[in-house]
Structure 1
């Protein structure tokens, strides 16, 4: 016996269940995405936003981490502006930034152009350039301490064989900050080289070929074609390297510890001494917030200047 079922067609006016409609599907996608990203987002916010807010309240107090805190308002910030050690640390940090940022960009461009050529063992050379960046800054600082040692260092040994005067390097209060810049460049230039190398390989060959056919030499092609195409990468590298220079700590810690006679004491190292050696947590938190404000202002200046020049990066 055959059994038949009558199916009543859904009229156009019958509403589609919410879970089956476009909005329901979009809601399910959003919920699925947040189910994966939510825990990680909560961890990131908990480890960044909450400590930052707590540090701001600490910066307005006098606290050693043990005794009850005493609220001093903006007193810590007013003291920092007149603190000679803070002023000296700021000067050292600005010197380091002024040398490190342009140096890493210029060297990154030049090395990237050299590594963009078709030569033998190019992969080996690219790896060698990037290895110092991958190595930890602590290991770099320890190695640099041996290289620039005045008694048995490699640099003085080379100068001795060449008949040139030897130097004190990291033990000289007049030269140490510049030696730190050289060490920092050696460890960080691999980063700018890699991003510039990727940008060079992304430049359309049609532009270079058109300029060459118009009679432009290699220098003109580099100046009027390559450099303008690298402008967005340069803005990113300038902002990133500025943040790196302003927050340099581990290299200072493993080489000079801020010496000799505080000649290499940067802002971050001074904050470390305030917070963890003298237990002036409120004063150190205020210094950290001032560093954050200065870094933010410098980054915004670079970004706004680049936008006025027509480079949209951020």
Structure 2
């Protein structure tokens, strides 16, 4: 005995009308309109970033001074990097600068963001003052820092003398120049970190904070166990951004120390500049640039991987 299936539609009922299809010409017109806006920017990105990067890879396998025809040397430029003492010294100084600059920028930026996340008078003015150094040109900052930290007539040494302390060499001292560069870079970059942390602090759910306070948690425990976990994605992003900034720092060094004194501030990026544009060893400089790219990519992947293991999905 078979069971009759009920009809899908009642007698006399109409089938639901299907959504009208857009004409074929309209979809093609929309695609052409989108590419008309995105096309020029795509061409610029490909022409100014992707194409030069691919071309630089082929240059890195040659011996070329930019004038004579290039000579193919294979992977010899990369092999010579392991024996180049100047490249190793530049790598050590870049890593030291990065290891000092990145944690300090994160900690100070977070502290400034917490201080600015309050309802006080003129808070907009204070936030603007913090962000202004980031907008200023790094080249202008380097030139200004040369006067501020001058051993003879700089403002910092004048303040030290007024306190009865000995004057320091700062940018003219091989032992102090790199740390002085870190201080100058922090002055210019703290505003960026503070702004992104400030935006993240304002997005922390107030219900979590209020629940912790009701449970008897003090301000420090609320910040440590409620606020900081909510800031982990921002911390991962800021760490990656500041790491790339430190490894690619050039304009500040160029305008303040030119890699000196005694190559104490010669980072990898500045050494690449000297190889490619001063000694005209374009192939060797391109090989070092690609090695720097590989190290930067590796550090970025490690930071993102560690952040995801801790539950911080940011990329």
Q: Which residue matches 1:81?
A: 82
Q: How many residues align?
A: 298
CA separation in 2, counterparts of 1:175 and 1:102?
Answer: 19
Matches within 5 A, 1:45-124: 45-124=46-125
Alpha-carbon spacing, 1:219–1:19, altered in 2? closer, same or farther (3 Å) = closer
CA separation in 2, counterparts of 1:144 and 1:93?
Answer: 20
Q: How far does residue 121 in structure 1 lie from its aligned partner after superposition?
A: 1.0
CA separation in 2, counterparts of 1:248 and 1:156?
Answer: 26
Q: Which residue matches 1:20?
A: 23
Q: Which residue matches 2:292?
A: 291
Alpha-carbon spacing, 1:19–1:143, altered in 2? closer, same or farther (3 Å) = same
CA separation in 2, counterparts of 1:243 and 1:25?
Answer: 44
Q: How far does residue 20 in structure 1 lie from its aligned partner after superposition?
A: 1.6
CA separation in 2, counterparts of 1:121 and 1:164?
Answer: 36
Q: Which residue matches 1:185?
A: 186
SS at 2:165 equivalent: coil
Alpha-carbon spacing, 1:19–1:225, altered in 2? closer, same or farther (3 Å) = closer
SS at 2:305 equivalent: helix
CA separation in 1, counterparts of 2:174 and 2:259?
Answer: 10
Task: Give the TM-score of the pair, scaled to structure 1.
Answer: 0.92
CA separation in 2, counterparts of 1:292 and 1:152?
Answer: 40
State yes or no: 1:305 paired with 2:306. Answer: yes
SS at 2:119 equivalent: coil
Matches within 5 A, 1:252-267: 252-267=253-268
5+ unaligned residues in a row in structure 1: which ranges?
1-16
Q: Which residue matches 2:127?
A: 126
SS at 2:82 equivalent: helix
Structure 1 consecutive aligned stretches of length 4 or more whose deviation exceeds 3 Å:
24-28
CA separation in 1, counterparts of 2:22 and 2:198?
Answer: 49
CA separation in 2, counterparts of 1:208 and 1:26?
Answer: 49
Q: How far does residue 31 in structure 1 lie from its aligned partner after superposition?
A: 2.6
Q: Which residue matches 1:3?
A: none
Q: Which residue matches 1:162?
A: 163
CA separation in 2, counterparts of 1:19 and 1:185?
Answer: 55
Summarize deviations over 1:260-280 as a string: whole Å, max 9, x none.
000000000000000000000
Q: Which range is displaced more, 291-300 or 42-51?
A: 42-51
Q: How far does residue 98 in structure 1 lie from its aligned partner after superposition?
A: 0.3
CA separation in 2, counterparts of 1:219 and 1:82?
Answer: 51
State yes or no: 1:276 paired with 2:241. Answer: no
Q: Which residue matches 2:203?
A: 202
CA separation in 2, counterparts of 1:105 and 1:113?
Answer: 12
CA separation in 2, counterparts of 1:135 and 1:35?
Answer: 34
Summarize deviations over 1:215-272 as a string: whole Å, max 9, x none.
0000000000110000000000000000000000000001000000000000000000
5+ unaligned residues in a row in structure 2: which ranges?
1-19
Summarize deviations over 1:106-161 as a string: whole Å, max 9, x none.
01100000000111111111111001000000111011100100000001000000
CA RMSD in angstroms, aligned pairs only: 1.6
